[in-house]
Amino acid sequence: MVLRIHAYAPGYVYDNSNLFDSSDFDTMTAGLTLSGMSPDATSVGGTAVQQVTPSAGMSNGALGVALTESLQNLNTAICSLAMCSGVGDGGCISVYTQKSAILTGVANSYGEYRFMPGNSPGYEFMQAVGPSLKSNGFNNLGVLSALANTLNQYSDSIGQGGTPNINIQFFRT
């Protein structure tokens, strides 16, 4: 299977068709993890320790750390975008997924996060977008990591003076 991301916004375009596509995560657990994170290294380490138990195998432990790190990166990106001066002027992150298969045809899903005052933008983002990712089978580490990387790059490109408004599309064939 091939997983591809295409993201676009005014002055920003990103496309990558060589994404890691494996290791499902539970949307609810990810959201709850994000709700307890603060943007510091101590929080990342504490969350990793909570998710990885001594009885877990080495690969499960590494996967837990990778998932936690991706969640922290996503949280940092969303919080950074939430601090943009134009966030109240219609700031939005939309995520569209499309899965194509020979026997089942094409399946689509759509989720949208509109920036609004809240205590945890990362958690609110996962609550808004997570169900659509899960419904179409895009709740995996590769997608989470791609979201985090794309939103961090986008945040860097618009700085703190713009209105965050980005469309992200995932395709699996």
What's the pLDDT tens digit per position in 79-138? 999 999 888 888 999 999 999 888 888 999 999 999 986 788 999 999 999 999 999 888
Q: Which pLDDT value is given to residue 44? A: 42
Q: Which pLDDT value is given to residue 28? A: 47
Q: Do 132 and 56 contact (CB within 8 A), yes or no?
A: no
Q: Which pLDDT value is given to residue 88? A: 84
Q: Residue 28 CB: number of other CB atoms within 10 A?
A: 13
Task: List the one residue out of 40, 32, 34, 3 whose CA is nearest residue 18.
Answer: 3
d(CA 48, CA 32): 13
What's the pLDDT tens digit per position in 24-75? 445 545 555 555 555 544 444 444 444 444 444 555 677 778 888 889 999 9
Question: In the sheet that 92-101 helps form, which strands lie side by side, from edge to edge?
Answer: 12-16, 3-9, 165-172, 92-101, 105-114
Cα 61 to Cα 49, 64, 109, 135, 154, distances in angstroms: 9, 5, 31, 26, 30
d(CA 66, CA 154): 21
What's the predicted TM-score (pTM) here? 0.77
Task: List the one residue out of 39, 8, 31, 44 whose CA is nearest residue 144.
Answer: 31
d(CA 135, CA 13): 26
Q: Which pLDDT value is given to residue 118? A: 77
Instruction: Give residue for tokens 């395709």.
Output: 171
148 φ, ψ (degrees, to nearest 5): -60, -45
